[in-house]
A and B are shown apart, each in its own frame.
Chain A
Amino acid sequence: MNSKVIVKVNVSDMYTFLLRMNNKKIPIFYVNGNIIKIYYDDYIKLKDKYDIEVYKYCGIRMIYYLFLDNIYLFLFGLLSIISIFIYSNMITKVEVISNDYAFVSRLEESLKRYKISNYQMKKSYDYLSKVKDNLLEEYHNEIEWIEIENIGTHYLVRYEPRIIKDNKKDNNKYNIVSGYDAIIKNILVSHGEILKWNNEYVSKGDMIIQNSSEDSKVYGEVWYEVDIFYPYSLYSKNKTNKKKNLYRIHFFDHDYALFNFNPFYDKIIIEKTIVDMCPFPLRISYSKEEEVDDSSVLDVLDMAYINALEYVTNKFDKVISYNVLEKRLEKDGVRLKIFLSVLKDIGVKEKVYEGDSY
């Protein structure tokens, strides 16, 4: 890179200097007073011998020194260009246009997974198309159509929610009529005209709600008198306060109690393993045995009576109160007559046809 350089020569006699340059075969391209233009290589040769200072560089070397002199300006400019490029290709806001905030948060989470969120780089058209396809597949039941629009540094997500029509919904109107003689306790209704209110007595067939929907419900207090027979199928065992502490050896499926001279006929065993020689089928345990025998007849009757009551109360949704009117012990079981006060859905739906007048 033999570029030229303009130098200032500080010599007393310029003519002598020029003559010497000619003798040394150093070409001088331009002379103006004591400023001359020579090759850079010649300047290197001369600078030690003469008082020469660079006035101006020419050619590529000029660009190089211009760059060195303004290095901070160039670096600042370069950084500015890079930062502008990065900022203009960065997503600063992702906005999903919808009123369904619960779904919007779910959609934003999904977009984050695809790196479409704040302070991420902008995505290509192909990538966005893939994301849209994946989102449509992921939210198959919720989204009909989705578009991710790039406006400046913002991403605007528009979607069309999929509306699945519930064909099973009945739009017919019904009148709710009482199916029992009862006192109304609770009315659940979305629309319609309520004719009877809480704590009002209704007879069977009385209209409670007019022009209501199918899902309306009326709960009322209904009374039953139940006659039930329950067999003596249950029995209990009582402990006789006789106890034993024994050691037992278990070998395969056999069980041997050690020093058990008078074994109990019926007993409850609480066992604790002392030695378990697994994988061999041998185990030694310490057991506490308590003798039991059959309970008295009176206890069996009581159990039958309690179970009969449980059976009756489980038959109904919610029993408010009950009263045993009669209790009779028979040969095979117990017969009970119980008065029950029950909370029950008393509403009976009657469809209203157009043209009906109430």
Chain B
Amino acid sequence: MHHKLVMNVYEDCIDILNIKRVIDINKDFVSVQYKDYYIDIKGNDLKVKKMLDNELLILGEIKKIEYR
């Protein structure tokens, strides 16, 4: 069963649902995989608040979100 990718983006946080896995986490960079795609989040002082199997909640200033 496939779920659609859900991203709730706020000023100081971003909540991503139905991800496959987290590729990389850094202070200013987070990369997650959804199906065959990758989502890169760039920002300042990023902090992980919640990390479940398919959900990631990140606090911090979001600058850019890229799909590749």
* A interface residues, Cβ below 8 angstroms from B: 15, 18-19, 21-23, 25, 27-32
Contacts of A27 in B (CB 8 A): 51-53
Interface centre among A22, A23, A25, A31 (most CB of B within 10 A): A22
6 pairs, CB–CB < 8 Å, chain A vs chain B: A15-B48, A18-B25, A18-B51, A27-B51, A27-B52, A30-B49
A6 to B25, CA, bound (A): 22
A38 to B27, CA, bound (A): 22
Interface contacts beyond A15-B48, A18-B48, A29-B52: sample of 8 additional A-B pairs, CB < 8 Å, sorted by A: A15-B27, A19-B24, A19-B25, A28-B51, A29-B50, A31-B47, A31-B49, A31-B51
A12: min CB distance to chain B, Å? 14
A30 to B51, CA, bound (A): 8
- In the complex, the chain A residue whose C-beta lies closest to that of B19 is A22
Instruction: Check A28–B50 contact: CB distance below 8 A.
Output: yes
- In the complex, the chain B residue whose C-beta lies closest to that of A27 is B52
Instruction: Check A15–B52 contact: CB distance below 8 A.
Output: no
Chain B residues touching A, majority SS: strand
Instruction: Check A31–B25 contact: CB distance below 8 A.
Output: no
Instruction: Check A30–B22 contact: CB distance below 8 A.
Output: no
B50: min CB distance to chain A, Å? 6
Among all A-B residue pairs, the 8 with the closest Cβ atoms = A27-B52, A22-B22, A15-B25, A28-B51, A31-B48, A18-B48, A31-B49, A19-B25
A277 to B38, CA, bound (A): 130
A36 to B25, CA, bound (A): 16
- In the complex, the chain A residue whose C-beta lies closest to that of B24 is A19
Interface centre among A15, A18, A28, A30 (most CB of B within 10 A): A15
- In the complex, the chain B residue whose C-beta lies closest to that of A16 is B25
Instruction: Check A22–B51 contact: CB distance below 8 A.
Output: yes
Instruction: Check B50–A23 contact: CB distance below 8 A.
Output: no
With contacts A18-B25, A23-B21 taken as known, whether A28 is within 8 angstroms of B52 at the C-beta atoms is: yes
A143 to B52, CA, bound (A): 84
Contacts of A23 in B (CB 8 A): 21
- In the complex, the chain B residue whose C-beta lies closest to that of A37 is B50
Contacts of B50 in A (CB 8 A): 28-31
- In the complex, the chain B residue whose C-beta lies closest to that of A36 is B51
Contacts of B51 in A (CB 8 A): 18, 21-22, 27-28, 31
Contacts of A32 in B (CB 8 A): 49
A21 to B27, CA, bound (A): 17
A23: min CB distance to chain B, Å? 7
Contacts of B47 in A (CB 8 A): 31
Contacts of B53 in A (CB 8 A): 25, 27
- In the complex, the chain B residue whose C-beta lies closest to that of A19 is B25
Q: Would you list which residues of chain B between 10 and 33 have a CB under 8 Å from chain A?
A: 21-22, 24-27
- In the complex, the chain B residue whose C-beta lies closest to that of A25 is B53
Contacts of A19 in B (CB 8 A): 22, 24-25
